[in-house]
Structure 1
Amino acid sequence: MNEFNESLDANVSSTDREHRTALHYAAMDGDVEAVDQLIEAGSNVNAADDGGYTPLHFAAQYLRSEVITLLIAHGASLEAEDRWGNTPLWRATFSTTEDGAAVMILLQAGADPLHANRSGNSPISLARKIANYPTARLFAHLP
């Protein structure tokens, strides 16, 4: 991510052909330092690409817990929807194969586990259908 560090004077709102910003890629890569610098330089934490993915969607999908925490602290929307209606919590639930840290961070921050996507599936229903046991237990206390 050094290329981002060297070019912070450039327009942080610049996008590629999919309308992704440098912040999208830094979040995807889990580069906490680059994410922090891009936010400080004015990058929009809620910028959506052509698929509706925000940096938080990518951080959640790739289970980048530190980046998730940083984005939330700077106002990233917990309920932003991609083109299929999936929220960052839905993406984290779908991707989780470990201890569920990313899911827990999003839940503790107030992400809605009942927010259904366009197919009618919520993070809680997804966890109960396909997630591994450690992920499903994160939702056990919910109706």
Structure 2
Amino acid sequence: MSIEDVFQAIRLKNYQDYLRLIDGVDVNAENEDGQTLLHEAAAYNSLECARDLISRGADVDSQDPKEMVPLHYAAANGAFEVAEILAEGGANFSISDKYGNEPLWTAVFNARGNYKTVDLFVRHGANPNHKNDSGKSPFDFAKQIKDFGLITMLENE
């Protein structure tokens, strides 16, 4: 058994294998790319694994080499349910990646008409006016692409 086996079980959403493998494993262990098990669960929308990792003390705000937290991964991959679990676990919605993008930026960029994740992030205090290193905010981007649903949601914050 290796840590890669645990990552694989998470990727495949094989909760039974995950449970068989996770005991005795450092829940904040990283793969060769510097991502934790929780980053992987968020990337693959592996809900049960994410819930279990948080209950075992996984760091909900761990940053990968690009300074992305699991919320960035959930937002990028449409993992709304995992984003909810991260929020319940106390995730910080104000952590920027190495480009200055907070998770809301990633959620807005990937919304494509599905606003559930954006709404969740805003309800948890994400700032739609936070500017990234390029001087653009999620609200600026919504206006740029003329997504009126996003504009309406973000301008009221």
After TM superposition, the score normalised by the length of structure 2 is 0.84
Equivalent residue for 1:22?
Answer: 37
Aligned residue type for 1:91: T
Map of 1:8 onto structure 2: 22
Q: How many residues align?
A: 142
Q: Name which one, 1 or 2, has greater alpha-carbon Rg.
A: 2
Task: Please state how far the C-alpha of 1:43 moved relative to its aligned partner.
Answer: 0.9
Mapped to 2, the partners of 1:40 and 1:133 lie a distance apart of 38
1:126 aligns with 2:155: no
Preserved CA contact (<8 Å) 1:8 1:41:
no
1:101 equivalenced with 2:101 (yes/no): no
Tell me the amino acid that sits aligned with residue 51 of structure 1: K
Match of 1:7, SS state, is helix
CA distance in 2, matches of 1:52, 1:141: 29
Q: Compute the TM-score of the two structures, normalised by the length of structure 1.
A: 0.92
Provide the aligned C-alpha RMSD in A. Answer: 1.4
Matched, 1:139 2:151: no
d(CA) in 2 for partners of 1:5, 1:80: 30
SS state of the match for residue 52, structure 1?
coil
Partner Cα separation in structure 2 for residue 50 and residue 130 of structure 1: 29
Identity of aligned residues (%): 31
- Asked whether the equivalents of residues 27 and 56 of structure 1 are also in contact (C-alpha less than 8 Å), the reply is yes
Which range moves more in the overlay, 23-32 or 1-10?
1-10
Matched, 1:75 2:90: yes
Q: Answer yes or no: is 1:53 the counterpart of 2:55.
A: no
Aligned to 1:26, the other structure's residue is in SS state helix
Offset from partner CA, 1:67-120 (integer Å, 9 cap, x none): 111101111110111110000000000011123110000001111111110011
Structure 1 gap segments, 5+ residues each:
none
Runs of 4+ in 1 over 3 A off after TM superposition: none
User: How far, CA to CA, are the matches of 2:75 and 2:112 in structure 1?
Assistant: 12
